[in-house]
Structure 1
Amino acid sequence: MRVLLSTYGTRGDVEPLVALAVRLQALGVEIRMCAPPDEEFVRRLADIGVRLVPVGPPVRAMMRGTSLPPAAELSRYRNELVDAQFDVLPAAVEGCDALVVAGLAQIGARSVAEAAGIRYVYASYSAVNLPSPHHAPPPRPGWPQPETADNLTRWKLDAQQVNAQFAETLNGHRAALGLSPVDNVRDHVYSDRPWLAADPVLGRWPDTPDLDVIQTGAWGLPDERPLPADLLAFLDAGAPPVYVGFGSLRPAPDIARRAVEELRAQGQRVLVSRGWADLDVAEDRDDCFTIGEVSHRTLFGRVAAVVHHGGAGTTLTAARAGVPQVVVPLQLADNPYWASRVAALDIGAALDGSTLTDDALTLAVKTALAPGTRARAADLGPRIHTDGAEVAARLLVDSLR
């Protein structure tokens, strides 16, 4: 049995599929994986014995600026990525029994699976990415946000925007494959039975009769790597610090700096994660330390709170560790959604990164560090599921058999 996995994006897009790959391999499935050609993804897949089939340009280079590219450049980039998928995926899927994809960027994948006559599965890492009257669509970079507050109307407009961006390109490729055109690109990509790879305690799918969603739980792997000696020395030298990091995203420069200054003003020790933004906002001192890539699973059990951008993976890992969170989301993809979930579960505080005030930041830090918040976060941690990737792997293998 052979399965092709495919995604395009940052580490938060790739790592869940790595987890699924490992669980599928344990069931005897041969894995191929399409992903961006960034060197760290090549190494990561090599570690689990999977060869990366590169699609599109490296992602990290795109994330170097302090802002996203202009709308016209993003539009061109998106269509070029669709072309790249039709160039690469047909050969990559040869001999495969199924194609599992994650992310709306996988515009061409279902058509390739259809032409090959194999099983197609679309997976989302957050409920907010799938249409429901219970939430609005996530913000999509370069596209205007509708003024209406009605969720169903917003989803209808979202489908129109996806069509405007992709329909001509997608249907041109489908015609070349002898396939009929599609009139709703977004729902075509999602399929009529998508999977939701998100924890049901942290982000449950709301009952939505028009869409049959299978929620497997979040896809992740244990990460028991030991922490570096210098980091351990800092942790052992005082009270648990507050972690500040923005993962693969580059926040406005002052956000990280202001967060560190506020934490230190409240007498907190601080850990700053460089991330892809290569943050360097504080000198290493007795109360502040800068770190590179480490195991969040190992680290978060030793911090007082986690300040982050609202990525699905960071939100999940912090919640599983039972520590409070301060989420400063960029207005991008599912970041605002995870911020809202932290606030709704009362395990931290959510801020608006685009209009962050000093008073709001002060209150958020105090809220996250309050005894009641710490107690709620600690209570939630043991309830987080850890078997989502295994559930998904068995579901896929059983369906193929």
Structure 2
Amino acid sequence: MGLAKELRELGAEAVVAAPPDEEFVTLLERAGVPLVPLGPTVHSVVAGPKPPTGEDALKLAPALVAARFETLSAAAEDCDVILATGLLPAGARDVAEKRGIPYVYACFHIFGLPSRHFAPGLRPGTPSPEGETDNRVLWQQDAQRVNALYGGALDEHRAAIGLPPVDNVRDHVFTGSPWLAADPVLCPSEGMTDLDIVQTGAWIQPDDRPLPDDLEKFLEAGEPPVYVGFGSMAAYAPKDIARVAIEALRTLGRRILLARGWAGLASIDDADDCFVVGEVNQQALFRRVAAVVHHGGAGTTTTASRAGAPQVVVPRIADQPYWASRVAELGIGVAHQDPTPTVESLSAALTTVLSPETRSRAKAVADTIRTDGAAVAAKLLVETAKA
């Protein structure tokens, strides 16, 4: 949304191809940006009673490749450039190649990019041998797992449109110059990878929606509450996290603001010190809370940091441990690396986060977060289209 808005400011048209989740549809309608449904909803993939398995991934990967070839081939018919995001959007570059238009891959963190400094994250497929510590070797083995997931389907669809096979799907998707849509303070990239990264800053869509009246009343009825939310984690959310958070915060004499999210967080009783909220303007809300307890998604971390809200990050998957570590390194919060918080462990983390020192540091870092990332990216994208 943020990028599309800035592209329109420059006189360009933007079309977003994305999973047709109700939340995405609503957001794009609000921004007046056309949505082309792409693949299944994210909710249908991640919101089952258990997290997706490796076998699920092996089935989903080729289906996503097929969906991108079919959907993007039509959606990009009159386009001048394709920009793709996501964990591994295999198929997007190939549509651009067939159409003879530029392709850009943009990521929201460096965690998935090959690096000498850190190992790859977990991926379905044959695991690396125990004891292997050479990061270059580990990343080569990661590329092999990507080929096993996507290679067959990608080459089949490339052959169908007259394109040759691809040896390394991961590097083909990422290109040699990926764009990094992340703030340089929160996610420094210099020297972190051999790729020629173009760091634009985070793509932030300003949100001027007012907070709901009942939420306003709750906020004004006492001291700032602590926000607890796990966004789209659904089956990945810590077990009993609502109960654990409520009991921990009551131990500290704090009010609680639960975000329902896909995990369906709910209060454990009818006490008036706890309020449950649905989808809401986090940019406005996080400026009015004492702290934010969350899973460490790129967007939530950036929004909380920009608001100057101290954070407790309980990472679950993918890039979330990276964001947790950055929050801790910057001194703007605590990384709760144990995936199953207890009342005692969460109380200890919150005691640190709610200290004047952490709040002061969070406020100082907030002043350094850039807000022009979407504008920078939009200008670059227009220039790329014209090149």
TM category (shorter chain) comes to over 0.9
RMSD: 1.7
The answer as to 2:265 corresponding to 1:279 is yes
**Counterparts of 2:31 and 2:342, CA distance in 1:** 44
- One-letter code aligned to 1:85: R
The answer as to 2:354 corresponding to 1:369 is yes
**Counterparts of 1:268 and 1:337, CA distance in 2:** 28
2:123 and 2:142 in contact (8 A); partners too: no
| Structure 1 residues 318-337: aligned runs within 5 Å | 318-330=304-316, 332-337=317-322
- One-letter code aligned to 1:289: F
How many angstroms does 1:208 deviate by? 4.5
| Structure 1: runs of 5+ lacking an equivalent | 1-17
How many angstroms does 1:284 deviate by? 4.5
**Counterparts of 1:293 and 1:208, CA distance in 2:** 35
How many angstroms does 1:65 deviate by? 2.4
**Counterparts of 1:302 and 1:109, CA distance in 2:** 40
Query: Residue in 2 aligned with 1:8?
Result: none
Question: Given the alignment, which residue of 98, 105, 117 partners 1:115?
Answer: 98
| Structure 2: runs of 5+ lacking an equivalent | none
Question: Given the alignment, which residue of 155, 159, 162 partners 2:139?
Answer: 155
**Counterparts of 2:144 and 2:259, CA distance in 1:** 39
Residue identity (%) = 55
The answer as to 2:164 corresponding to 1:180 is yes
How many angstroms does 1:138 deviate by? 2.9
Query: Residue in 2 aligned with 1:64?
Result: 47
1:171 and 1:181 in contact (8 A); partners too: yes
The answer as to 2:182 corresponding to 1:198 is yes
| Structure 1 residues 2-401: aligned runs within 5 Å | 18-140=1-123, 144=127, 147=130, 148-208=132-192, 210-250=194-234, 251-330=237-316, 332-401=317-386
SS at match of 1:127: coil
- One-letter code aligned to 1:278: G
SS at match of 2:245: helix
| TM-score when normalising by structure 1 | 0.91
Residues 197-206 or 281-290, more deviating = 281-290
What's the CA shift string for 1:26-54, capped at 9, x where partnerless? 11111122111123322322222222111
Residues 351-360 or 109-118, more deviating = 351-360
How many angstroms does 1:144 deviate by? 4.3
How many angstroms does 1:99 deviate by? 0.1
- One-letter code aligned to 1:216: T
How many angstroms does 1:264 deviate by? 1.1
**Counterparts of 1:67 and 1:233, CA distance in 2:** 37
SS at match of 2:103: strand
Cα distance change, pair 245–97 in 1 and its aligned pair in 2 (3 A) = same
1:283 and 1:289 in contact (8 A); partners too: no
How many angstroms does 1:110 deviate by? 0.5
- One-letter code aligned to 1:139: L
Cα distance change, pair 149–269 in 1 and its aligned pair in 2 (3 A) = farther
How many angstroms does 1:74 deviate by? 2.0
2:207 and 2:283 in contact (8 A); partners too: yes
**Counterparts of 1:375 and 1:145, CA distance in 2:** 43
How many angstroms does 1:282 deviate by? 3.1
Residues 232-241 or 66-75, more deviating = 66-75
How many angstroms does 1:377 deviate by? 0.6
How many angstroms does 1:83 deviate by? 1.1
**Counterparts of 1:307 and 1:35, CA distance in 2:** 28
- One-letter code aligned to 1:24: L
2:180 and 2:197 in contact (8 A); partners too: yes
**Counterparts of 2:335 and 2:28, CA distance in 1:** 34
**Counterparts of 1:380 and 1:300, CA distance in 2:** 15
How many angstroms does 1:229 deviate by? 1.2
Residues 69-78 or 378-387, more deviating = 69-78
How many angstroms does 1:172 deviate by? 1.1
- One-letter code aligned to 1:311: G
SS at match of 1:238: coil
